[in-house]
Copies of this chain bind each other. A is one copy, B any other.
């Protein structure tokens, strides 16, 4: 049945998501994923052609989910754009402080696959990051920022810097300070009546 198929496939991706993220791509065996999904390895290979394909689908499945979290923090914050941007960084500071946080899955996967240029999973990571930047750019346009695109890129770069620094230092202060820098750059481009 197609329904069963999708269900099994979803369970596999869920198991892959959890293990790839917590343990790392290379350190996670296909056996472990199959076991966690409650199926045989042979069944996994019925649904996916290879481990590489599974890696790619894992990352792709995270794209909109992660983006949605950022959007929620942004939208639910009262105030002007600097307040909303700060809210995103504060949100990140909070979730990355959780002991189960293991860095940005997209960055880490791209890092592990750095020896395989052109790997589809790297493209999935690239796409996700482009989506984050585009979203920022749109919000800044709607907010009538002067150099919306460039500013979005600055904020995006600070976001990436905050994430990768958190992975190394495990100190959320860096994320909040990154948010300060972002707010500063955004305020610099705000129309006069808002500031």
Contacts and interface: CB of A to CB of B under 8 A. Distances in A.
A169 B126 contact: yes
A160 B167 CA distance: 11
A54 to B, nearest CB: 17
- Max chain B C-beta neighbours (<10 A), residue from A156, A163, A168, A184: A168
A125 interface: yes
Given A106-B168, A107-B168, A22 B115 contact: yes
Interface in A91-125: 102-103, 106-108, 110-112, 114-115, 117, 122, 125
A153 interface: yes
A24 B114 contact: yes
Contacts of A164: 107, 160-161, 163-164
B110 A167 contact: yes
B181 A184 contact: no
A23 interface: yes
Across the A-B interface, give the 8 residue pairs with the lowest CB-CB distance, nearest first. Answer: A161-B161, A157-B161, A160-B161, A108-B111, A26-B26, A154-B181, A111-B111, A102-B114
